[in-house]
Chain A
């Protein structure tokens, strides 16, 4: 079945270091979404990418959609303790109403 995998599963960084999580889909995606879930919280929508090769920035966060629309990445520059949480990518299922969520990358930032 359709799968969306993310690597790494966990990442521990020192505050100020950069962080990247990678998302890979087994199928071509019409769009990709990114969500952040703080510890004890619920997933919150961050951004959506639609075009092949698209790059979007939100302050220190840079999101990229691959040329083949099967992979994506989220890069955080100079991490802060407020960046702690689990980051999920998600893409639409094929011929369904559902969103397929990635396995998530848990980020821990040490001060």
Chain B
């Protein structure tokens, strides 16, 4: 599946580094999301963008900074992360279907390790 792409696929960073995760969707959807998936927790929604406007910030620490320059691209800027931030970061896009549901199309994820 190439509808939603994410780069990089793997990232190792120190706590003082600054890095960015990139997501691109080729599905023409209006909404994009960042999720965090840890080993022992369910999918945690981080941010929602609808038509480039942030509509949801799920109490995410400020060391995570999202950016949505247009409806096709989404970034997650990372700085001064903690080891407990190590996780799989998933990007998704969606568009409301005829039934009023927001079906999520996920990218392959970025496996982040913070040393």
Contacts and interface: CB of A to CB of B under 8 A. Distances in A.
Interface of A: 30-31, 33, 35, 41-45, 48, 50, 88, 90, 92, 96-99, 101-104
Contacts, number: 59
B101 A97 contact: no
B31 A48 contact: no
B101 A101 contact: no
Interface in B48-74: 48, 50, 55-56, 58
B104 A43 contact: yes
B90 interface: yes
B42 A104 contact: yes
15 contacts: A30-B101, A31-B100, A33-B103, A42-B107, A42-B108, A43-B104, A44-B1, A48-B99, A48-B101, A88-B43, A92-B102, A98-B48, A99-B45, A101-B42, A104-B42
A78 B16 CA distance: 51
Nearest to A43: B106
What is the interface residue range for chain B against chain A?
20 to 34
A35 B104 contact: yes
Given A96-B56, A97-B50, 15 more contacts: A30-B101, A31-B99, A31-B100, A31-B101, A33-B101, A42-B90, A43-B43, A44-B1, A48-B99, A50-B101, A96-B55, A98-B33, A98-B45, A98-B58, A99-B94
A45 B45 contact: no
Contacts of B55: 96-97
